[in-house]
Structure 1
């Protein structure tokens, strides 16, 4: 095993990689089990479903906006491996609360009054967990890896994250909530165990005091980072990208149910294809750049992403026109064609029989691959252009701006939904935002390369 994947044999990288992978898997197993249950089992109108999906996304993102400054200070001034152990232990407690909510939902007991609030509480707490773990997973790489390994390590972390998202998303779509409840607790325990294997990562200077005032420290952190033109452009580019990603992820479950008329297994397939694409793009751009940290391919990548978003929009818009004559009778093993759409939703077999499925999935995969190629070099740029004792705070500042943009995107999706703008038409907003990201990435490329 050589090159990028050789890092997976190194103790200085493998435990962190596996811990991050398990955390991303657990986040998505829990979140998607919850969202799919509510979208398919509780609500029955597109606006409410989109709103719940957006609320769930917003609650998970909100801690990044509120607490990233604190997490960045801790990661830069305390042993990162010790923080990992504390954070992963807390994940076990959080998932116990989430598991209770999932079990109550499965039993049908106080779904609106207790089960859903408990699940949303656990999701918010997992956002806090990820807020404190996020800066570490990037900031520890320059400390444990050689300078020519950082881009490869960043690409592997991103690829592993989305492979884990893929696995958690698929599993959430095919198992019942009671099994998801057991799974999230078991995975949290495994994550704690692997976290204990991460080698020590002491601070680059002596431990200093922490500013616990989250508003003051957040303003100071962003102000202290964003005045540097290159970091300013990189952070804004990443923020626009993740706003696009948040809006797409919010739209997927209600779009699959109401526009594509498919069940939750197809919604999981959508999220899985997106995750595969990000993983492919994350590794591919490292090969193209040959280990060099550069934004060279980022402008073109996000332009291509916007083209694929438009293609996805057109396929979704015309999906219903192609429905007649290709829906299979899912009650039998025969291939008898129906003359009118059935009352119930497509399963995977029926969905894959649709004439538009190949361009639909191809455009979705294209969005994700080009997105991965866009964002990975920018993350590597954040961690390699500042002193090692400032990397966590730089990532934390990035998280504050990113999360603020994503929360704004979630609120916009809710507002557009209740204003009568359908999930398909909202895709056009994502395509337009790709142009802004491309412009910012081009400015960054000119400033740095």
Structure 2
């Protein structure tokens, strides 16, 4: 990974890295500001908070399901850099709507403000749908084969570091400050997006299918019949269904179980983001640039064990006095606080070690003119899995199951992910290594 850091000096990589970093930061800054504002200021009921988080998650997922096939086709049939410029221009308009929602909700018009904010979440989902395939699919065009895993790891690590910064910022600045910040970052992302070198169509002309349903079906069918891609996509999808469940569980858990304020909720999400970034670095170092799933089964089993540990520690947490919440300082002084944060960090580190090589599989085992569509097919299946994960949380919570108990469901899903990763390792690593030689 240390060698991969040299990619940050390359004109063909740095603008893309900065642009995706700013996009991830801005997306997370807005969403976290909105969720924390709703959780700690607007709502005062754990069930309502969980439902709002699930609704926001669902709205951000819908565009991936409906538009990923179109985004993949456009990215494979047009200059990817040009699409980046269009998408970053749209981000400025989207954040203008979101900032307005934050401002008027803070002024007391909560219904109208929430409507605008949720509309912004939906629009940001569209933004990410069109940008997501490009940030991975463009790498084989701009980088050599030996640099693709390093570039993928840097993009993944950068994404989660951006999430970290966006999360921390959201927890510490005012609602008005968040509204101003998202507009400024969107403008900066527009500037860096214009510096990404051209990445024209790499194959023959492609007839674009604009019907989202038939296009999605054909895209998935054309991808999933390849065994190694099927296993990689399904394993990644299980990972993101786990992630969607954790995203929904964490804010109410921090407020109602750990009885801590929004700065602590921000700290918890930030710790998770740091962990994924560390995991991205660690797995690239272990594999020394080789694209392989051999560490994935052990990584996700360790992730599941860490989830169980996190649940057990939270069960023995001493709540704050009635009517109060721990601040980040008083939280850190509690005996089990460091253990909880370390367990959360371990969940993320092992998660990063699991998922990064699988993304590298998507972009290196197909022709360059098919990479964006492959990533798009992955996004569709991922989002279907995330939707199921969100529905599972809502369904289980409706029966009065506590967040700590729901974490055991997450741990069980990690075992399924380990089995899929083992199947991928057996199906691909030895044959792919022979092909690469």
Q: Residues 206-258 of structure 1, C-alpha deviation per residue, up to 9 Å, x if partnerless?
A: 43321000000000000110111110000000000011111111111100000
Contact map agreement 1:51 1:417 (CA 8 A) in 2: no
Residues 111-147 of structure 1: per-residue CA shift (max 9 Å, x gap): 02x1001000001100000000000000000000000
C-alpha spacing 1:219/1:426, structure 2 compared with 1 (3 Å): same
Instruction: Give 2:382's aligned residue.
Output: 402
Match of 1:107 in 2: 107
- Partners of 1:225 and 1:236 in 2: CA distance: 12
Determine the C-alpha separation between the residues in 1 that align with 2:52 and 2:401.
16
- Matched residue of 1:296: which SS? coil
Is residue 19 of structure 1 aligned with residue 3 of structure 2? no
1:365 aligns with 2:364: no
CA distance in structure 2 between the partners assigned to 1:370 and 1:70 by the alignment: 33
> Is residue 136–residue 375 contact of structure 2 (8 Å, CA) maintained in 1?
yes
Call closer, same or farther: CA 1:317–1:137 in 2, change over 3 Å. same
Which of the residues 209, 227, 230 maps onto 2:228? 230
Task: Specify the alignment match of 2:70 in structure 1.
Answer: 70
Distance in 1 (alpha carbons) for counterparts of 2:377 and 2:367? 15
CA distance in 2, matches of 1:364, 1:205: 44
1:344 maps to 2:324: yes
Corresponding position of 2:418 = 438
**Partner residue of 1:118?**
116
Per the alignment, residue 175 of structure 1 pairs with: 173
Measured after TM superposition, the shift of residue 358 of structure 1 is: 1.5
How far the C-alpha of 1:107 sits from its partner, in A, is 1.2
| Structure 2 residue aligned with 1:330 | none
- Which residue is 1:303 aligned to? 301
Structure 2: how far apart are the matches of 1:389 and 1:343? 58
Residue 6 of structure 1 corresponds to which residue in structure 2? 6
DSSP-derived class of the 1:185 partner: helix
Structure 2: where are the runs of 5+ without partners? Answer: 430-437
CA distance in 2, matches of 1:414, 1:185: 33
**Residues 244-274 of structure 1: CA distance to partner in whole angstroms, max 9, x if unpaired?**
1111111111000000000000000000000
CA distance in 2, matches of 1:365, 1:26: 23
Q: How many Å apart are 1:2 and its aligned residue?
A: 5.9
Alignment of 1:315-394 (within 5 A): 315-320=313-318, 323=319, 341-394=321-374
Report if the CA contact (8 A) 2:68-2:130 is conserved.
yes
In the TM superposition, what whole-angstrom CA distance separates every residue of 1:333-392 from its partner, at most 9, and x where no partner exists? xxxxxxxx2421000011001111121011100000000000000000110000001000
3-state SS in 2 of match to 1:295: coil
- Partners of 1:407 and 1:172 lie apart in 2 by 25
Q: Is the 8 A contact 2:157 2:276 kept in 1?
A: yes
| Other-structure match for 2:50 | 50
Note if 1:32 corresponds to 2:32. yes
Question: What is the match of residue 333 of structure 1?
Answer: none
Distance, in Å, in 1 between the alignment partners of 2:317 and 2:405 is 14
1:44 Cα offset (Å): 1.2
TM-score by length of 2: 0.97
| Deviation by residue 1:290-336 (Cα, 9 ceiling, x = unmatched) | 0000001000000000000000010111113xx5xxx6xxxxxxxxx
Report if aligned partners of 1:78, 1:207 keep a CA contact under 8 Å in 2.
Answer: no
TM-score by length of structure 1 reads: 0.94
Alpha-carbon RMSD: 1.0
Give deviations 1:158-203, integer Å, cap 9, x for gaps. Answer: 0000000000000001111111000001101111110000000001
What CA distance in whole angstroms lies between the structure 1 residues aligned with 2:325 and 2:85?
44
| Partner Cα distance (2:365, 2:417) in 1 | 20
Deviation at 1:411, TM superposition (A): 1.5
Structure 1 residue aligned with 2:90: 90
Question: Which one of the candidate residues 264, 269, 278 is aligned to 2:267?
Answer: 269
1:62: how far off? 1.5
In structure 2, distance between residues paired with 1:42 and 1:163: 29
